[in-house]
Amino acid sequence: MKKVLLIILLLLVVLGIAAGVGVWKVRHLADSKLLIKEETIFTLKPGTGRLALGEQLYADKIINRPRVFQWLLRIEPDLSHFKAGTYRFTPQMTVREMLKLLESGKEAQFPLRLVEGMRLSDYLKQLREAPYIKHTLSDDKYATVAQALELENPEWIEGWFWPDTLMYTANTTDVALLKRAHKKMVKAVDSAWEGRADGLPYKDKNQLVTMASIIEKETAVASERDQVASVFINRLRIGMRLQTDPTVIYGMGERYNGKLSRADLETPTAYNTYTITGLPPGAIATPGADSLKAAAHPAKTPYLYFVADGKGGHTFNTNLASHNKSVQDYLKVLKEKMRSKYIVIEGLEGAGKTTARNVVVETLEQLGIRDMVFTREPGGTQLAEKLRSLVLDIKSVGDEVITDKAEVLMFYAARVQLVETVIKPALANGTWVIGDRHDLSTQAYQGGGRGIDQHMLATLRDAVLGDFRPDLTLYLDVTPEVGLKRARARGELDRIEQESFDFFNRTRARYLELAAQDKSIHTIDATQPLEAVMDAIRTTVTHWVKELDA
């Protein structure tokens, strides 16, 4: 009997120790950090129970002990009241803090930056590409947007969305975001209209916005905007045509290829202020607060003309003779300083190259450079586009595996065709070239990601391209976790976008290594808020252009 009691006692001790260890493991898990190394977006679907939550967290490599996690929820039932939604987890967060967040329902906020100077069509593209937005618009036609917003004046649509950073949660609709931006612009325009200077030749609020949009596209120098406004107001008062290039570009639509010709200036459109008298029928872009203020309160000047001075600003004149002299002075500066250049934008998938290109173009235009063509790699010619399809479309070669070296050779075949038939002729003609990727991509993706011998790649590059290199490269640096989430949110991935995180980590490491070795490569931290990224691009390009003649 004593032996039985002793055995029972020992069993109770063992069970007590086991229970104590179990409780310790549960407490330890609750206070341990999440396994993630980067900010992670986590979506909890409606109806998810405790077991399913643990399995999902384990599958996403956020926790490593799903069974212990289940015991935690049993021992501390207050932690099991979670709400469906999309949340942002940080590496510093503990399991307990994560569960408290899920209980709070405080969903992740995502930024959408609507930038002054861009068109509604640009905003609609941003909405399509932004993550976690619920798309309800049937198409990108302005009439469709006007109907969805229930606008009182459907034709008052371009330029009527306040440029700002909109924060939104997952499943916010595109229409809801547009309504917010439109409502804020209406309020700003109403205020500007009520407080406008006396005697301005505007028939309605839309003409005020139209003038503000022209000012926005003509100058990036805030201190000049009221003077630019005065030139256009003075012209309107005497019935003189505005003759402003940005309106011609807008009226050309998709026909504009980065270069304005005399024929373009002479071709009538509703927006061509070289052929019409007065303001065009609507805005040509989204004006910012400074441009709206300048349109409502132009400076009082005698000026009728202005032209870029080649230094980022403008020279203003009262008569044509003085203006023509200023134009010749500007052309001399441009000829000496603004020889055609090749600018390339690089980065991992989801780095924001399209947005960056728009910022580069806008910055160059404001510096007086408007003769530009745009390229992408692989692609840009009929042959190169076919090679692009072969190397990126996972369905194009069926079950056949593209070898790493074959991939490299296809990239170079497409690149040589583009360089020889498009890029070099454009540069020789005095046209600036803005490229989406170039050889740095091959050195990073195939050299870093694929592990192909770097000496072989450099030898191949030198053999087919010689000493041809971009004049400036903007490398948008993002982690694979951030970039690929953006890319995957856009839809179906191509063959290379489906590679592993390890592949993209190696690619990024090679990008950073090469950028550190080459002064012509400028690294931009693309994980910053969009507005900060765009400011960094503007600053980099502006300083680089101004130093060309230093």
Binding residues for ATP, by number, are 347-354
DSSP label of 91: T
Q: Which residues make up each annotated binding site?
A: 347-354
Residue 150 CB contacts under 8 Å (≥ 6 apart), including other chains: none
The first and second tokens of residue 522, run together, are: 């400028």
Distance CA 306, CA 230 (A): 11
Residues 6+ apart with CB under 8 A from 230: 298, 299, 300, 301, 303
**Nearest residue to 115 via CA among 470, 352, 330:** 352
**Contact criterion met (CB below 8 Å) for 421 and 381:** yes
Distances (CA, A) of 286 to 159, 225, 230: 4, 15, 20
Yes or no: say if 84 and 106 are a contact pair by the CB < 8 Å rule: no
DSSP string of 301-362?
Answer: ----EEEE-SSSSEEEESSHHHHHHHHHHHHHHHHHH----EEEEEESTTS-HHHHHHHHHH
- Measured from the Cβ of residue 101, the count of other Cβ atoms closer than 10 Å reads 21
Q: How far apart are CA 34 and CA 96, in angstroms?
A: 10
CA distance 319 to 296: 25
| Whether 109 contacts 169, CB under 8 Å | yes
Q: How far apart are CA 20 and CA 30, in angstroms?
A: 15
CB-based contacts of 450, cutoff 8 Å, min separation 6? 404, 407, 408, 503
Q: Which residues of 405-440 are buried (b: 16+ CB within 10 A; e: fewer)?
A: eebbebbbbbbebbbeebbeebbeeebbbbbbbbbb
> What would the two tokens of residue 51 be?
């077991």
Q: For 326-333, which contacts have Cβ atoms below 8 Å and span 24 or more sequence positions?
A: 330/368, 333/309
The single-letter DSSP state of residue 525 is E
Omega prior to 378 cis, within 30 of 0? yes
- The full length of the chain comes to 550
